[in-house]
Amino acid sequence: MAKFKDVWDREVRALADACVDAQFIQNWTAADKRGYATAEEEAYAKKLGLKDPYGMWYIADMIWRVEHDLADRRIAACGISVAQIYSTLDSDSYLQNVWGGDTSSEEAQRLFKLRDGLAS
């Protein structure tokens, strides 16, 4: 557990945080609860210009799960959360279907840096 926590704290958490916009996640959560997005929430999402907003959502969820699992000393659960995100980011179908093979955008670069960090 100490090795996972060390790598998470030293490298991976910062890479994951770079993939998440807290305001977007708060807006998305509020919209999900009420069943619709407000005009302001839609404008904020459009301003971000995300190609993969679901990716951001799932990475935020992974961060939450790993932090809580570390606090409760559930190392196996940490591995499952990380593996789910890694396997998606590392799949050829994700690269082709979401990004069309083009990883030149800042958003894609952050996601693929996270993928490489999760591999460690």
Say if CB 30 and CB 24 are below 8 A apart.
Answer: no
* pLDDT of the residue at 45: 92
Show the domain range for 70. 2-119
| 70 in Cβ contact with 78 (< 8 Å) | yes
- Name the nearest CA neighbour of 62 among 89, 44, 93: 89
Cβ neighbours for 58, distance < 8 A, ≥ 6 positions apart = 84, 85, 88
Please count the structural domains in the chain: 1
Residue-wise pLDDT tens digits, 77-95: 999 999 999 999 999 999 9
1 pLDDT tier (thresholds 50, 70, 90): low
Each residue's pLDDT tens digit, 55-65: 999 999 999 99
